[in-house]
Amino acid sequence: METILGKKKKGVSSLSLSSAFFFCPFFFCGLVGTCRANSPNQQQLDRITALPGQPLVSFKQFSGYVTVNEQHGRSLFYWLTEAVTDADGKPLVLWLNGGPGCSSIAYGASEEIGPFRVNKTGSFLYLNKHSWNREANILFLESPAGVGFSYTNTSSDLKDSGDERTAQDALIFMIEWMSRFPQYKYRDFYITGESYAGHYVPQLAKKIHDYNRPSKKPIIDLKGFLVGNAVTDNHYDSIGTVTYWWSHSMISDTTYRSIISHCNFTHVDNSPGCEKALEYAMSHEFGDIDQYSIYTPTCSSSSANATRHHRLKKTLIRRRANGHDPCTENYAEKYYNRPDVQKAMHANLTVIPYKWTACSDVLIKHWKDTQFSMLHTYKELIAAGLRIWVFSGDTDSVVPVTATRFSLSHLGLSVKTRWYPWYSDGQVGGWTEVYHGLTFATVRGAGHEVPLFQPRRALQLFKSFLAGHELPKS
């Protein structure tokens, strides 16, 4: 992820300062490029017996590769964690992290909604009692090629990735994956994610919706999507982000006025005056904070400095507070680079010439096309009748709640249920407003990765979304 000055971490990158806040059913020749069927035995070959250091579990796991472009040799890596109970009767949910160029296994699976957490030394796993596979079958996808274990045999692919190809490859992945896992055909299907997945999720939803149009009974039975702290509209997101900085005392009145007067956030490149004002805010006024969770500590372990110093451009402090460990990203990198882990997951079969990392700097640096605004896509998908929920952790300053509210307000939706506090475990979990066609909810006390900071509240939100019920009022 990046702020508008290009400081990358987990889900948003800055392709420019103004865009910094985004920062043949299964012999599908036309899409894949060659006619190819999945081996009937491939599903069992993808079965994970057990991961190294994993506690005993009752649910099944599968992981492996799905080729999405034979000519270029692009293959995407997935990890399926089936539901703890009644897997055959529960929906399928795809989770995508953003970046662009960050791993859904590093973040979604290992820090947020997955069934396991990685210990400090990367030597064993322990259970996440708020895992989303308590409610659904969760499919994690490392996308696009070049992220995590996903790869391409065509090196130029790493330097010309963008929104359109990412969405198209993800559609091909789902078509091919359904062929390998026919038990999920016609199952209720939802897409979820966060941050720059604010592009990935609705873009893939539109691809699937368009693909399904000729069919009365679609194999990929898309019902809706859920996305958090989502990059939505470069212009409105930017205004909302600067407003958050000022309203949360991160910048001075003088700097706020300077940014507003010099930056219009409608062009690919900012003016020199805008650049100067933003640079001053970041370098002189923010301080050494975690911009993704402004009230929690940051991490400065040696491995964190090695992998993120050039991204964050600041000195970090390592400590634990409020139950949140700020160094979890480093533990995942230790674990997934272990040869025994990769063998158990059927990963890195081609011996990728680089280490598995949480984010790909090459992809982020060379991202080519990005949709300026997702609002038109939202309008199309609302008209299509999909269930759409957008949520925001309210302590994130990178894609903050004000950014999302500014953007969504320009959809012009009428209110169905007025703004009210919703509850989780007897406490206010956040606030929500239900519109005709979309539900918006905040999650109180959560940063950019909502399920990491507020796992119980995130699970309550997920359960309500799947059920199609408004969030509890008491």
Task: Give the separation between CA 243 and CA 404, rounded to whole angstroms.
Answer: 12
pLDDT at residue 390 above 60?
yes
- Of residues 199, 209, 366, 448, which has the active-site annotation? 448
Span 97-123, average pLDDT: 96
**Whether residue 369 lies in the annotated active site:** no
**Quick one: pLDDT band at residue 10, thresholds 50, 70, 90?**
low
**Whether residue 310 lies in the annotated active site:** no
pLDDT tens-digit readout, 211-250: 999 888 999 999 999 999 999 999 999 999 999 999 999 9
Query: Three-state SS for 224?
Result: strand
Query: Three-state SS for 98?
Result: coil
The pLDDT value given to residue 38: 60
Q: How many Å separate Cα 173 from the centre of its chain?
A: 17
Question: Strand 221-228 and strand 188-194: pairing?
Answer: parallel
Closest CA to 94 of 171, 36, 39: 171
Return the residue matching tokens 């066609």: 437
Among 327-336, 373-382, 389-398, which is the least confidently predicted range?
327-336
Task: Transcribe 331-377 into DSSP letters.
Answer: HHHHHHT-HHHHHHTT--TT--SS---SB-HHHHHT-----SBSHHH
Among 130-144, 231-245, 262-276, 348-362, which is the least confidently predicted range?
262-276
**Quick one: pLDDT band at residue 266, thresholds 50, 70, 90?**
confident
**Whether residue 396 lies in the annotated active site:** yes
pLDDT at residue 89 above 90?
yes
Question: Strand 92-96 and strand 188-194: pairing?
Answer: parallel
| pTM for the structure as a whole | 0.89
Question: Strand 415-424 and strand 427-435: pairing?
Answer: antiparallel
**Quick one: pLDDT band at residue 136, thresholds 50, 70, 90?**
very high
Beta strands in 112-151 (DSSP E): 116-118, 125-127, 137-142
- Of residues 195, 293, 397, 407, which has the active-site annotation? 195
Beta strands in 198-243 (DSSP E): 221-228
pLDDT at residue 8 above 80?
no
Span 103-113, average pLDDT: 97
- Of residues 157, 169, 394, 396, which has the active-site annotation? 396
pLDDT tens-digit readout, 160-201: 999 999 999 999 999 999 999 999 999 999 999 999 999 999
**Quick one: pLDDT band at residue 374, thresholds 50, 70, 90?**
very high
